[in-house]
Amino acid sequence: MTTSSESDTLATKVQLAFEDASHHVIARARASNTEVVIWRDGKIVELTPDEAEQELAKNLREHESNDSSL
């Protein structure tokens, strides 16, 4: 959860926009029965919506843990 002072920062706004866009992409892939295509380690990777959701959650947890250690 972000505080009001954090939500005013550009970095926080960018992060929230990224999360929102990611959820929309996953929802669209699920609705259209397609995969989510990402770039990982220099390669194109296709994920099911469930895999993409899991990867997003993992990445967000890592990002939050990196932020809290600063």
- pLDDT tens, residue by residue, 16-64: 999 999 999 999 999 999 999 999 999 999 999 999 999 999 999 998 8
Q: Give yes or no for residue 3 having a pLDDT over 70.
A: no
Listed in order, strand segments (DSSP E) in the chain are 36-40, 43-47
Please list the residues that pair with 4 across neighbouring strands.
none
Instruction: Report pTM.
Output: 0.77
pLDDT of residue 7: 55
Determine contact, residues 48/35, Cβ cutoff 8 Å.
yes
Pull the structure tokens for residue 21: 């866009």
